[in-house]
Structure 1
Amino acid sequence: MKKGRNELLEDEEKILAPYAVGSRNSGGRAYPEPEHPYRLPFQRDKDRIIHSHAFKRLEYKTQVFVYSEGDHFRNRLTHTLEVAGISKTISKVLGLNEDLSESIALAHDLGHSPFGHAGQEALAELMKDKGGFEHNKQSLRVVQKLERRYPEFPGLNLCEETLLGIMKHGGGYETSDLLTIRRSIGPSLEAMVVDVSDEITYSAHDLEDGLESGLLSLDDVKGLLIWKRIHDSMPPMDTNSKSEIHSISRSIGRVLLNLMVSDLVDSIHESLTKHFVNSRDSLSNLYKEKTKLVQFSEGFQKEFSELKTYLFQNLYRHPEVSRMSERGKETIYLLFKHFESHPESIPESYRNREEEDGRMRIICDYIAGMTDRYAIEKCKREGIFWFPY
């Protein structure tokens, strides 16, 4: 049986919870388009994001370890796909719109610079008095303006709900008309789920990658409060074996993910029941009252916070990671200064926007869109002083 748009909308409405975002009630797109006969709005958003240039470039953008450190460490693309998968799982269980959650998750890091958070820090410093730089804001800029896939409009022309979801935390978007809407109705539950799924994902996979790389100590992890939960849920294995660290680290990452997702789902369900959330309006009212619905249980949150602190102090500040970060920053500083004095080295597609956006912004856009390896290769091609990774 072939299903058309109306049948698909009816099927969706049968499974969505009353507080979910339905496709039929979508706020639409900035540039009106005819609806597709069998693809619903957020499914189209998801497809547009996946086919974008910015999404493809995520494969060679740093998560924690630069691409040259090994093929099995997470990169910005694998991280994004993991966030999308977890967001979709949580949304399915809670009766939320899976396509919307997945779209937000797939787009949430499109604006991330090369070299991870070190790259963001470098661009933020360089743009400090020129409008600033923050990767969540840049993700919105990418999908609204920088992508040039369609001749009819700039950007990807995503649905309003997807754009609102990309506006993480809802702050710092003073130049966006969407800010008023988000402050008025608050984020959707789908968007809130993606925010926490992001934290869940990087905490689990950064711990796993840190153990596999040898930068983190399994003995130290065993001292964390959350270790008892992890150990009790792991399959039988010798966690004192140094030779099995790869298998152990992967088991830890897998078990930790399941523990976090399960606790979060139970906690959200309990909060929705406790606060009698039965519509999108009731969700908005709780947002205005600053009631937090998407969070771990109290006991688990304490353990999760300790884990994040541990990762910050022992992995993100590890001398080896700091070395990679500083080289990434230096690469970005050198590129930025070079393009300031040699604008002819900037692609014409960016230079065409100089009058509208200013030279500093187009340089920032260009560098933020680079992959790690392209930034390094660009330094070599332009004859900029550079040291190898």
Structure 2
Amino acid sequence: MNAIINDIEIIKAKTTKINEVDFDNLKFGQVFSDHMLECNYKNGAWEVPKVVPYHAITLDPSAKIFHYGQSVFEGMKAYKDANNEVWLFRPLENFKRLNISSKRLAIPELPEAYFMDGLKALLEVDKDWIPNKEGSSLYIRPFVFATGKGFHASPADEYKFIISTAPSGAYFAGKVKVLIEQTYSRSANGGVGYAKAGGNYAGQFYPTQLAVEKGYQQVIWTDDTNHEYIEEAGAMNIFIRINDTLITGPTSDRILDGITRKSIIDLAKSENIPVEVRKISVKEVVEAAKNGSLKEMFGAGTAAVISPIDGFGYQGTDYDLPKLDKTYAEYLKKRITDIQTNKSEDPFGWRYKV
């Protein structure tokens, strides 16, 4: 049976997979909900999106996504509170960033209504897939990629926008030991580092594999010129606490404007935690580790919200971080997740009811 919500056609799956899912043991991003949003760009315009059953995609071998990498994505979550009401966290920021990324890769930008109304329609259809267990959420992956055909090196003339979702349990990275990268670069000035382009992540995998072989779990990226300044941690923004001050690098062509990052900065300032947005050198971090003023390092991103770093390696030497009874990481993560799940007041207006 088909229905129309905000001009978005809903084609429901004939059967559901939900009864086959163990919601008490969900792995991140490996189980997928019954439906997805699908929208095509053809003849110079985006068609009205549809909510359709989750399905495989067939593409021509000459589709330009395979050859020239026009692909961008976002990461979001939907939450249920104690009253089974559904919430998003700053979704318009994800929409804006998706279009910023698209523009950088010469992909046509999406209308806001297609993203927001499409997302709301999808969540309404699959609201039973949103877990309400503590720490769980429905991970949401909006993405756009080139489907137009041709081997000639030029932007495609056709694209596909999809939102697919995956119920996921609490994301625990465990104790993370990182290696400060001195050879490879994640991005460069004038490049696409600030965009959520698929190729950015593909380029990270090999250096990360090399770090894993050395006994580390992740890489801290440094600037492309002299590998002098700290920039990101794996696929996350990074925060460094020296004494009582929280420091993170400024956004640039090379650094992603993370939504969790922005939220942490605003939240910390509201809690009178000293925050500095500035370049921070590897030398400064190593010196702080040596003199005991380095208290914390943590990554910030959608999946884990905040992922504490236990220690780091640099030029053949490992540095352990102190074990603190109370950490900024733990406190800020709880404050953000309480806002996300409607357990506390939201003075910033970040929470979005579906």
TM-score range, shorter chain: under 0.3
TM-score by length of 1: 0.25
**Larger fraction in helix:** 1
Larger radius of gyration: 1
TM-score by length of 2: 0.27
Higher relative contact order (CA 8 A, sep 6+): 1
